[in-house]
Amino acid sequence: MHLGGATVLRGHIGFGHSSHIHTTKILRLSQDLPVVVEIVDSREKIDAFLPVLDGMMTSGLITIENVQVLQYGTVKL
């Protein structure tokens, strides 16, 4: 979808709509841990991506925030 990029953060513990705490344990590889995906791009590209995202998710929360980007791309020293 030619989005600017994404950062994926996986949580070690979460509490969700199931009312159970989900954690990582040595003897248990949990598939229900929280994941945060941050995408920064124009409002138009995000809006175009929302139907695709809706088809990928079975449950979850989507928030849309306005941000001010101070640096994008590589920094030349």
Q: What is the pLDDT of residues 11-69, one digit of tens each?
A: 777 666 666 666 656 545 556 667 888 998 889 999 999 999 999 888 888 899 998 88
Tell me what pLDDT residue 30 has: 56
Tell me what pLDDT residue 75 has: 63
pTM (two decimals)? 0.65
CB 35 within 8 A of CB 9: yes
CB 28 within 8 A of CB 39: no
Q: Which residues of 34-43 are buried (b: 16+ CB within 10 A; e: fewer)?
A: eeeeebebee
